[in-house]
Amino acid sequence: MPEKAHSAVAPPAGQALAQGWCALSSLHGRIETHIERALQAGHDLSVREFSVLNVLSGQHDGDGGHLQMKQLADSVVLSQSATTRLVTRLEDRGLLSRYICPSDRRGIYTNVSDDGLKLLEEARPTHDAALREALADAARRPELAPLVAAVERLTATY
């Protein structure tokens, strides 16, 4: 019997989409793990804690300048209850403080303390270096290289 020739057949659309999602998830996990290790080792700070401090450090006075807990949860991609627990831990460490919104007594705002800002600024170079290292490592993997290139194109537009 003659041997059948194998041709490269593209996976069905749904399978291709699932493979793309798996690659994106893998890239995210690799980056987050690498940054987590660096931040924990150098600053006793988790990726999520860094993200909360970073988001809150961008607050300002004026309309839309302060985030309520739901907005903060959306910004750091956590549930509201997980965000509340995280904010409580950071508050216990003296890195954040909470206060009632003056115009809506139901709203709770969170501010980064001076100690929190200091820790954030000390941790930022560690975070950024770990991010660059993780992206460089991922770029060497053929299945992740296109995603890394897309991330790098995004950063060029900011």
CA 32 – CA 127 distance, rounded (Å) = 10
| Prediction pTM value | 0.84
Rounded to an integer, what distance in angstroms lies between the CA atom of residue 33 and that of residue 130?
10
Q: What are the structural domains, with CATH classification, of the chain?
A: 15-144 (1.10.10.10)
pLDDT tens, the chain, 158 aa long: 555 555 566 667 778 889 999 999 999 999 999 999 999 999 999 999 999 999 999 987 766 678 888 889 999 999 999 999 999 999 999 999 988 877 777 778 888 999 999 999 999 999 999 999 999 999 999 999 999 999 999 977 76
